[in-house]
Structure 1
């Protein structure tokens, strides 16, 4: 398999002080790294499908939902590990590792994670937050989704205000942050150039989200889609699970609320503008607007 192209000089983690190469090889002690050196690596789309599917006991989603919460959490941890070492999309692998080696000047003294970003939060959440992709100098640097960039600053501040996060900031792995009754994921797990994954990259990554959704669904009450990209990903995954979606297909909107059914009940899908700099600088999204959506999710 292709090897991670690490930088020439190990640098100290901003919290632990331990030295790491950039990108970070799996199983070398990075905080919350779910993988080990022997974790299987997907090298293409078919391997993503196989490795994602092998994290659950069979093709029937009912077999997943019948499992204990402990078993599903173990399978989710296995899925996280496999996601975090994926190399299925050559363009994304090259970009995430190039950024990890060259670094933004303001983070030149830090190691960069430089790998895919697994879901993060509770293994049996009531609320699932679905975004687009990690930021090149945010999650791609810190190894945690929505951590270390301005979008994450907005998101975690609001999550804390509505009781879904322990701290108002999320700056790096090992900073003490934790989610309360919630989990967050990116639709595409690698940082893409210009924050624009291709359709092929989106579809290659889709089995990871599908399997994660299957594993957390029994506890879910609400899914918050950040932007139309996350909204569409949730609806595609819902159909792929064999669960019905409303007709006509619901369109994204801030504050839009849709009920999604599955054999044991319903989950509410809430739309929320993505806390991107474009949306926050222009006033399209305000702290109050973000709090209203996340507060509604927290109350489910």
Structure 2
């Protein structure tokens, strides 16, 4: 099995119990699906990456089952295909934690590390997980890019860096210089709803990654 992203231990706690609602929900999920990971999902990818992708939270039958972000769910189809096409991944699909896939200069994490009921974390749960994200962001070198998938991820990044949301409004394709050598780029989340309704197309997603590459190449 491939090792999870070897970030410092204070960036991730596999036994975290900060959120009682999520702890209770995962206990019930493990009882129904004993083969699922059903625990906090660690980041995946290159620990020295200059691109950090921040999603919302693990999906029930995706990352919550596999133990790898965006692996096994619909959202991961477009994400990993695009990562491969843009040179950030060794393969176009992520099927399991031991499939041999490698990320290049890229790491993937979530604003909330545990599966929330109905895929909707509560604001206190996002905040409870925020210091883990802050420590992940601290690993990034100047010139790095953070790609936020959706508003919740965008706001979680700003909170982790102590920045005001009013100064950096979310918008697909928007870019935000964060004043600490980091660039935040926004994208609609690659969820089934967004892609099937046409709110996010594969071409739109590639354009955002082209923005990311331009900043990385420039740095």
Match of 1:6 in 2: none
CA distance in 1: counterparts of 2:143 and 2:119, whole angstroms: 28
CA distance in 1: counterparts of 2:195 and 2:131, whole angstroms: 31
Distance verdict in 2 for CA 1:247–1:271, change over 3 Å = closer
Offset, 1:246: 7.6
Distance verdict in 2 for CA 1:33–1:96, change over 3 Å = farther
Distance verdict in 2 for CA 1:198–1:261, change over 3 Å = same
Given candidates 201, 210, 225, the residue that maps to 2:134 is: 210
Match of 2:120 in 1: 196
Summarize the alignment of residues 259-270 of structure 1 with structure 2, pairs less than 5 Å apart: 259-262=177-180, 266-270=181-185
Match of 1:32 in 2: 3
Structure 2 residue runs without a partner (length 5+): none
Match of 1:286 in 2: 201
Bigger Rg over Cα: 1
Residue 175 (str. 1) matches residue 99 (str. 2): yes
Summarize the alignment of residues 142-157 of structure 1 with structure 2, pairs less than 5 Å apart: 142-157=66-81
Match of 2:27 in 1: 97
3-state SS in 1 of match to 2:140? helix
Match of 2:87 in 1: 163
CA distance in 2: counterparts of 1:202 and 1:246, whole angstroms: 16
Given candidates 120, 128, 143, the residue that maps to 2:52 is: 128
TM-score, with structure 2 as normaliser = 0.91
Count of residue correspondences: 215
**What's the CA shift string for 1:197-226, capped at 9, x where partnerless?**
111111111111111111x22265211000
Structure 1 residue runs without a partner (length 5+): 1-29, 35-72, 104-109, 240-244
3-state SS in 1 of match to 2:93? coil
Instruction: Point out 4+ residue stretches in structure 1 off by more than 6 angstroms.
Output: none
**What's the CA shift string for 1:175-194, capped at 9, x where partnerless?**
01111001111000000001
CA distance in 2: counterparts of 1:248 and 1:207, whole angstroms: 21
Q: Which has the higher contact order (CA 8 A, sep 6+)?
A: 2
Distance verdict in 2 for CA 1:99–1:169, change over 3 Å = same
Q: Which moved more, 1:129-138 or 1:87-96?
A: 87-96
Offset, 1:298: 2.6
* RMSD after superposition: 1.9
Do the aligned partners of 2:4 and 2:44 also contact (CA within 8 Å) in 1? no
Match of 2:174 in 1: 256
Distance verdict in 2 for CA 1:98–1:181, change over 3 Å = same
Distance verdict in 2 for CA 1:282–1:140, change over 3 Å = same
Residue 140 (str. 1) matches residue 64 (str. 2): yes
Distance verdict in 2 for CA 1:246–1:92, change over 3 Å = closer
CA distance in 2: counterparts of 1:102 and 1:219, whole angstroms: 44
Distance verdict in 2 for CA 1:89–1:220, change over 3 Å = farther
